[in-house]
Amino acid sequence: MICDSLLSPPKQCRSKTTNETVIGQEDSHKWKTILIILVVMTIGFLLALCIYTRLIRREIDQQLSVEVNKMVENYVNMTEKSSSNVGNTYSKMDN
C-alpha cells in the first residue's frame, strides 16, 4: 500500500509487488485446477449414471419379458385344461 503511493518506488517495493502478483497468479491457477477437477468428476459421474441406468433398464426388461412369457404360458395351459374339461363334459352329456 505504501509502495503504491510512491512515484518512484524503491527496489523492495518492486520485488514485493512482483511476489504478490506471482502469489495471485498461483491462487488463480489453484482455483482453475479445482474447477477443472470438479467438472471432470461431474462429467464422469453423469456418464457412469447413464451407463448404470441403461444396464438396469435392460436387465429389468429381460426379467419382465420372462415373467410375461410365464404368465402367457400359464394362461394358455389354463385355457387348454378348461377346454379339455369342457370337451369331456360335453362328451359325457352326449352319451
Longest dimension (CA), the chain: 128
Q: In the predicted model, what is the mean pLDDT of residues 11-31? A: 66
**Cell numbers found for residue 28:** 488463480
**Residue pLDDT, tens place only, 35-62:** 999 999 999 999 999 999 999 999 999 9
Q: Look up residue 40 and give its amino acid.
A: V
Residue/partner pairs of 1-8 with CB below 8 Å, 24 or more apart:
none
Tell whether the model's pLDDT for residue 5 goes beyond 90: no
Answer with the residue of higher pLDDT: 16 or 39.
39
> Is residue 6 a contact partner of residue 13, using CB atoms and an 8 Å limit?
yes
Q: Where are the domains of the chain?
A: 2-94
List CB contacts of 12: < 8 A, sequence separation 6 or more: 3
Identify the band that residue 17 occupies on the pLDDT scale cut at 50, 70 and 90. Answer: very low
Q: Can you say whether residue 90 is alpha, beta or left, with left for phi > 0 and alpha for psi between -120 and 50 degrees? A: alpha
**Residue pLDDT, tens place only, 71-91:** 999 999 988 888 776 555 555
Tell whether the model's pLDDT for residue 95 goes beyond 70: no
